[in-house]
Amino acid sequence: MIIGSGPAGYTAAIYAARANLSPVMYEGLQPGGQLTTTTEVENYPGYPEGVTGPVMMEDLKKQAERFGTDVRWGMATKVDFSGDIHKVWIDGSKLIEAETVIIATGATAKYLGLEDEKKYAGGGVSACATCDGFFYRGKDVAVVGGGDTAAEEAMYLAGLCNKVYLIVRRDVLRASRVMAERVKKTPNVEILWKHQTKGLVGDNGVVEGAKLVKNLGEEGEEEVNIKIDGFFLAIGHKPNSDIFADYLDTDEVGYILTQPGTSKTKVPGVFACGDVQDSQYRQAVTAAGSGCMAAIDAERYLSEKHS
């Protein structure tokens, strides 16, 4: 059984189906995963002209179904990994039993909760500089956050963009000292200390600027407007791993821990792949690679079990 879709889940399904493992996939609330919210994907091998996220995910789904994957609509809401046969409940009622389970539930980017983030989704709002920074070459952008991820994204974008505003809620960076010093010394990065985002502006669904508030709730509070073409969120991700917490080990954020170099969790027959276990790269191509690993690990587990 494969829980979740996206590059990791679909790749696991392709490999598992071709190995005659009779995979059943439940796609979850967002079939295709985070990439279905991406307008253009240009860094995935095999698409020289680029491809939209939804089209790419539909291609992967068709390929998985071609080899016999049983793709179903539904969301895993509860699991029991205490026995030799693993149990998964779908939508709180339907029970599925499987000898092996591949978890590919992904991670959800954290947003500020502004309506404008939804309004300009795909039109300048992004949670992945590595994925979308290329589209803002020579332009002005803003990054929200004060940790290592925000500092890394700001420096990455600084190599592509004309100017990068780093919007920091506090008067210090939470990033490590090394990362903080690097971003401070990057000439085209301007750190906006003690600023918070109030909203975004633009025409035709495309970001053209941001409304900020400096010193919110303090003396000297003022509104600040900046002109930008891209607005990048770098305030973290939340792995979709809550329902597995009673059975699997995770780090402090919630990423499922796997044995180094494998997709194996601490429970025999349960494997994890994609962004639910990857706190470092979070790319479609690395997710697909880990999906391949999970299917191969599952096949080897079943072969040894039944030999």
Catalytic residues, by residue number, are 128, 131-132
The 3-state DSSP class for residue 31 equals coil
Phi, psi for 240 (deg, rounded to 5): -85, 70
C-alpha distances (whole Å) from 283 to each of 6, 165, 287, 290 are 11, 24, 6, 11
Unique residue bearing structure tokens 């995770």: 250
48 class by beta-carbon count within 10 Å (0-12 exposed, 13-18 middle, 19+ buried): exposed
Taking the CA of residue 237 as centre, how many other CA atoms within 13 Å lie in the half-sphere pointing to its CB? 23
Contact 183, 173 (CB under 8 A): yes
Q: Is the dihedral of CA 33, 34, 36, 37 positive or negative?
A: positive
Q: Do residues 16 and 299 make contact, with C-beta atoms less than 8 angstroms apart? A: yes
Please check whether residue 247 is in contact with residue 267, taking contact to mean a CB–CB distance below 8 angstroms: yes
Count of beta carbons in the 10 Å neighbourhood of residue 280: 7
Residue count (the chain): 307
At 9, give phi and psi (nearest 5°): -65, -45
